[in-house]
Amino acid sequence: MSQPADAMLVARDLHRQFGGVRAVNGASFTVPSGRITGLIGPNGAGKTTALNIIAGALRPDAGTVYYQGRSITALPSYKVARHGIIRTFQVSSEFAALTVLENLLVAAPEQRGETLRQAALGKRYWRPQEQADVERARLLLARFEMSAKENEYAGNLSGGQKRLLELMRGLMANPALLLLDEPMAGVSPSLARRIEQHLLDLCSEGLSMLMIEHELAVVERLCDPVIVMAQGRVISQGTMADVRADQEVLNAYLIG
């Protein structure tokens, strides 16, 4: 399989089973840079498992994941994140006892004062950068219209607000590639529309994304290209139009 010049992430022949179930069974796909790539398929197709493998949360039984040419397959999730691959979760995973602003601050990469030695150097050492991160976080909050919630405990937010926080936190980490697992799950339609617009804006600003999404209308609006998985394998890749015309895809959706 040839790698297009702007391939950011390449998954090659991934396999992963749980007990007797082959969740991912020889999946290969490419995620180009600068686009919102959709990952779709019927339930049980292995999408979340594939995402977990890429993110380092799961070790594949076989296969490799390449990120900008280097293999990241064996890396634990925190190291994958440090390469700039940031993932969000389908179930909101906010830091409940921290405020919204603190949730964002945690995500800031390469903070001063995060090691013991740096913490010992005292406020004068790490405070300026923390303040700069606070400003960046506040810009994010303003952009997503959540400035009023800055000092609210993240655990007290509504479901929709938690989804937004999940997204903002991911962005705060300065990702090169953002992995989104059903970012609009359980969110009101109007908020979902707003999130869609945010994602499009971010993409036009240069952020690459891989998004698991089950609502095909959303995929139509946002994603190009689209990867279709079924029963653990990739059965089609291409633009939404290509994929719609693909007979295998139609079969999978009718059956699966």
Partner 1 sequence: MSVAWQFYISTVLIYLGVDVIACWGLNLQFGVAGLVNFAYIVFQAAGAYTAAVLTLGPAKPAKLGGFQTYVGGASWPFPLPILAAGLVGGLLAAVVGGFAIRRLRSDYEAMVMLVVSLIATSVATNQVGLVNGPNGLALVPKPLETMLSLSPVGYQWMFVAITAAACVCVYWLVHIVTSSPLGRTLRAVRDNEQAAAALGKNVTGLRMLAFVLGGVIAGVSGAILVEFISAWSPGSWLYPETFVYFTAVIVGGSGNNFGVMVGALLVPVAFLEATRFLPQFGPPGLIDALQWILVGVLALVFLWFWPRGVIPERRRRFPSAARSDQKRSLIPTRTGR
Q: What does the binding site for partner 1 look like in residue numbers (CB under 8 A)?
A: 55, 57, 76-79, 81-82, 86-89, 93-99, 101-103, 105-107, 109, 111-116, 118-120, 122-123, 126, 130-131, 134-135, 138-139, 151, 153, 169, 173, 205
What is the arrangement of strands in the sheet containing 70-71, beginning at the earlier edge strand?
Answer: 21-32, 7-18, 62-67, 70-71
Residue holding tokens 């993110």? 55
Nearer to partner 1, 36 or 108 (CB): 108
- C-alpha–C-alpha distance, residues 182 and 91, integer Å: 9
Write out the two tokens for 222: 């946002």
Nearest distance, CB of residue 246 and partner 1, angstroms: 33
By beta-carbon proximity to partner 1, the closer residue of 64 and 99 is 99
Q: How far is the CB of 72 from partner 1 (least distance, A)?
A: 13
In the DSSP assignment, the letter for residue 205 is T
- For residue 99, the 8-state DSSP code is B
Question: Smallest distance, Å, CB 131 to partner 1?
Answer: 7
By C-beta, is 173 or 226 nearer to partner 1? 173
Q: Where are the beta strands (DSSP E) in 6-153?
A: 7-18, 21-32, 36-40, 62-67, 70-71, 85-87
What minimum distance in Å lies between the beta carbon of 127 and partner 1?
9
Q: Which is nearer to partner 1, 66 or 153 (CB)?
A: 153
For residue 52, the minimal CB distance to partner 1 (Å) is 10
Largest CA distance in the chain: 63
Residue type for position 77: S
Cα separation, 195 vs 170, in Å, equals: 14
Complex with partner 1: residue 22 or 112, whichever CB lies closer: 112
